[in-house]
Chain A
């Protein structure tokens, strides 16, 4: 699929730059050029396509779909629709109130809140580009299951009294707006959105791929297996903890992690790390504090964190 890109990278590196095919520098630079072109192509095309879909599904439309579902299928729909909704920490509160106050159950709201940042298109594209379709699909599926189960569990617990900072009994009406748009506007929305994302992520992608290419070329094979192989019990919890403060840098972290996996970090550990980067975010935690007590936040993070670690251990165990 990316053969033309490989040919282009070969021509640039071995032809134009004149680096030797068999040298370390040659293979590292080739790796860097190939991955960079491939990732930016994927990002531009897929984000554009997803943005077009989004113009048909503004948040109010998504809320309407979820409102009409029964409790259990509500969780599935919330987690599924969370995937295509962009998540921005600054919108977390209006989103939360907009769900809870129109009558969407708290647990279903949490399914959405877990899936939306964790399974986002940038992370999925990066995973697909650096690890392949199978890993990206495993990641999306695990994230979906974690979102559904976390929401179901929180819905089961009696936590309504742990909400604060707003009037829980207040009801608001759902009104769909923004779904009607002429096609030229859909295109300009998608173009602007794609450029916006590319502008934000490009330095991280370049740095991530750059360091990744260096590791690829210069760090010995299986160098990390001794510390982070599948048989090391502490690798998964440690990776989860380290991932928490790296929020919003999925674009830079994934190329790096792909190089580390190549050098012996187990797959489950990698998945747990990625999920912690996207799904457990400190800024989100802090902002949600405005509408829920600390105890509920810890329950939320605890359940999602446990789900992430379970996924990590499971994959390490199965792949061993």
Chain B
């Protein structure tokens, strides 16, 4: 099971990244679990300084942008 975490304090872009990531995971047919991390201290501890950010299985993949569903599929593979 892949653990997909979306980091962000609840701005519009964070919701969009969540949506795109979930759509990408579904299209890939992944066995996945989504988690939203909104706590600023936890976001900072993960090394993120620009939200929204995305981590897969605890590894940071991107920060500060919302890629398309297509490019997210590459990251989630």
| Residues in A lying within 8 Å of B, measured CB to CB | 58-60, 63, 86, 88, 90-91, 93-95, 97-99, 101, 166-167, 170, 172-175, 177-178, 188-189, 192-193, 290-291
Q: Is the CB of B44 within 8 A of A94?
A: yes
Chain B residues contacting A170 (CB-CB under 8 Å) are 41
Q: Is the CB of B65 within 8 A of A178?
A: no
Q: Can you spell out 23 A-B residue pairs with CB atoms less than 8 angstroms apart?
A: A58-B50, A60-B49, A88-B50, A88-B64, A90-B10, A90-B51, A91-B50, A93-B43, A94-B9, A94-B40, A94-B43, A94-B44, A94-B49, A94-B51, A95-B49, A97-B41, A98-B48, A167-B41, A172-B44, A177-B47, A189-B65, A192-B67, A291-B40
Given the complex of chains A and B, what is the CA–CA distance between A175 and B64 in angstroms? 16
Residue on B nearest A181 in the bound complex, by CB: B62
Chain A residues contacting B68 (CB-CB under 8 Å) are 192
| Residues in B lying within 8 Å of A, measured CB to CB | 7-11, 13-14, 40-41, 43-45, 47-51, 60, 62-65, 67-68, 71
Chain A residues contacting B8 (CB-CB under 8 Å) are 90
Given the complex of chains A and B, what is the CA–CA distance between A94 and B60 in angstroms? 15
Chain B residues contacting A95 (CB-CB under 8 Å) are 49-50
Q: Is the CB of A91 within 8 A of B64?
A: yes
Q: Is the CB of B65 within 8 A of A193?
A: yes
Q: Is the CB of A59 within 8 A of B40?
A: no
